[in-house]
Amino acid sequence: MQAIKDIISKRDQIISIASHYKMFNVKLFGSVLREEENAESDIDFLVDCGDDCSLFDLISLKYDLEEILGRKIDVVTSDSVHWTLKDKIAQEARPI
């Protein structure tokens, strides 16, 4: 539950960092969203990526978010989600 509070309180900062790396439409999914997380859970973000977004940008976003949220972060792009998970994640994900 604390992770959700941290995300809400740092929402503008998260969006600003994502924008810096040419990413937008930041959404949360996974155990933190479902309030099923434990101390070891990471925070899962789904983002859309601009045409000139690189793997370096994605990795940089991950590390910057880990820095401000103090938790392990997993960032996936809408285009890179494996087809077997795409519908499930799309239905679950919520804008931050």
Domain count, the chain: 1
What is the pLDDT at residue 1? 66
pLDDT digits (tens, 9 = 90+) for 15-68: 999 999 999 999 999 999 999 998 889 999 999 998 889 999 999 999 999 999
pTM of the complete model: 0.92
Residue 45 CA: distances (Å) to CA of 11, 20, 90, 95: 12, 16, 11, 9
Please report the pLDDT score of residue 51 as a whole number. 85
Write out the DSSP string of 39-62: TT--EEEEEEE-TT--HHHHHHHH
Segments forming the whole domain that contains residue 40: 2-95
Instruction: Give the CATH number, domain containing residue 28.
Output: 3.30.460.10
- C-alpha 29/C-alpha 63 separation (Å) is 18
